[in-house]
Amino acid sequence: MPVFKGQTIHYDIVGSFLRPQRLKEAQRQFKDGQLSTETLTTIQDEEILQLVQKEIEVGLKFVTDGEFRRSWWHLDTFWGFAGIDKVQVSEGYHFHDLDTRPESARISGKIAFTPDHPDLKAFNYLQNITADKEVIARQSLPSPAQCFAELVRGEENLRALNDFYPSQEAAIADLVKAYRKLFLALYEAGCRDLKLDDCTWGMLVDKEFWKNMSTDADDIQKLTELYLSINNRALADLPDDLFVSTHVCRGNYASSWASAGGYESVADSLLARENVKAFYLEFDTPRSGDFSPLEKVHDNQEVVLGLISSKDPALEDEDRLRQRIEEAAQYHDLAELSLSTQCGFASTEEGNKLSEADQWAKIKLVIDTAQQVWPVKAN
């Protein structure tokens, strides 16, 4: 974790929070045309302010706006770029036991950053309400590779890309440029902690998924290298004091999951070569494999262990959590490990199947366990 006020903090969150009932109702009224944009924004502002106050009260040092302005953890960001439209599709994403809402992002012109991007506006508010607080405001974004994967998901999306670009590389070049401009705009607005959420790696490690797709190992390896290249191109030459991390997810929708598989098949690419300072990795179930791939993470990079489920209201056993942290420390230095939930509590506006009380109990467990393992001390 980045150092906070001379101390290394070993507990954290992934970022999204359950939407309060008042916010859910406001979103419904807005969609039905019963609420103005201005009134919705005011309600979002008020609910975010209350959330941040709660985050501070429980002891979090890196705070978020809960993604309260988003419907999806990823699509809203894509829709915020020029040249990318919101579209309805025939099928949603296929999860373990359900399908999501059928929405996607599709190229409708040349991809570009614009100064009114919703994530920049969202961060400006978060920065404003935390500037005088003893916390750091974090901005989460879906990774550039995640955006590219969406833009080529399905025949219609792929046709749209081919309508506006002579090649996929030309589209990638514009996408990377748009992301870099968003990163730098956030930095200019005061952002010093940026997290890239990424489900592409979760799909790459899922052997059953690729078996059903009849895709061979060479093609999977080419896709792995492509995703790594897209992310690293966007991350190149950013300011040294911008702390960039990435969170690897296997799907988080209404407490369901989308993919399974350990990190071993992507360790030499993701863990050894992605240019980030920290990895937030899911390890809450056997679907994520064992800790041995952590050997590939460099000594100067942090690993945040997602050992506590954000999907299930049942609290994990603290002794077992400490035991698992000790197991992970066999592969990566304990001083460079931290603890969090495996994902956010509401990657989409639906939220996971637990209560707000359960949510805060999970965060308390993260903090209490981490403080037992890593007593806070000045560096």
For every residue of 96-107, DSSP letters joined together read: SS-B---EEEEE
pTM of the model: 0.95
The confidence score (pLDDT) of residue 93 equals 78
The Cα 191–Cα 184 span in angstroms is 9
* C-beta neighbour count of 166 within 10 angstroms: 8
**Domain-embedded: residue 378:** no
At residue 6 the predicted structure's pLDDT band, cuts being 50, 70 and 90, is low
SS3 state at 20? coil
Lowest mean pLDDT among 81-85, 176-180, 231-235, 286-290: 286-290
The confidence score (pLDDT) of residue 94 equals 80
Please state the φ and ψ torsions of residue 135, each to the nearest 5 degrees. Answer: -145, 170
**Domain-embedded: residue 81:** yes
**Domain-embedded: residue 58:** yes
* C-beta neighbour count of 264 within 10 angstroms: 14
Helices (H) and strands (E) in the chain, counts: 13, 12
Residue-wise pLDDT tens digits, 234-255 = 999 999 999 999 999 998 888 8
Are 194 and 244 contacting, i.e. CB atoms less than 8 angstroms apart? yes
SS3 state at 94? strand
The Cα 362–Cα 340 span in angstroms is 9
Q: What is the mean pLDDT of residues 58-63?
A: 97
* pLDDT exceeds cutoff 50 at 196: yes
The mean predicted confidence, pLDDT, of the chain is 93
Residue 224 maps to which CATH number?
3.20.20.210
At residue 379 the predicted structure's pLDDT band, cuts being 50, 70 and 90, is very low
Q: What is the mean pLDDT of residues 263-278?
A: 96
The Cα 350–Cα 280 span in angstroms is 23
The confidence score (pLDDT) of residue 1 equals 55
The confidence score (pLDDT) of residue 378 equals 45
**Domain-embedded: residue 133:** yes
Percent of the chain with pLDDT over 90: 84
Are 143 and 197 contacting, i.e. CB atoms less than 8 angstroms apart? yes
Percent of the chain with pLDDT over 70: 95
Expressed as residue numbers, the domain containing 369 is 3-373
Q: What is the mean pLDDT of residues 87-91?
A: 90
Are 224 and 169 contacting, i.e. CB atoms less than 8 angstroms apart? no
Please state the φ and ψ torsions of residue 130, each to the nearest 5 degrees. Answer: -115, -5
SS3 state at 238? coil
**Domain-embedded: residue 379:** no
Q: What is the per-residue DSSP string for 216-274?
A: -HHHHHHHHHHHHHHHHHHHTT--TT-EEEEEE-S--BTTB------SGGGIIIIIHH-
* pLDDT exceeds cutoff 50 at 42: yes
The confidence score (pLDDT) of residue 2 equals 56
- CA-only gyration radius of the chain, Å: 20
* C-beta neighbour count of 152 within 10 angstroms: 15
* pLDDT exceeds cutoff 60 at 213: no
Counted domains in the chain: 1
**Domain-embedded: residue 355:** yes
**Domain-embedded: residue 150:** yes
User: Nearest CA to 344 among 51, 81, 96?
Assistant: 51
Please name the residues in contact with 358: beta carbons below 8 A apart, sequence gap of 6 or more: 313
SS3 state at 283? coil
Are 340 and 366 contacting, i.e. CB atoms less than 8 angstroms apart? yes
The Cα 18–Cα 354 span in angstroms is 9
Are 157 and 107 contacting, i.e. CB atoms less than 8 angstroms apart? yes
Q: What is the mean pLDDT of residues 248-264?
A: 88
Max CA-CA distance within the chain?
Answer: 57
**Domain-embedded: residue 175:** yes
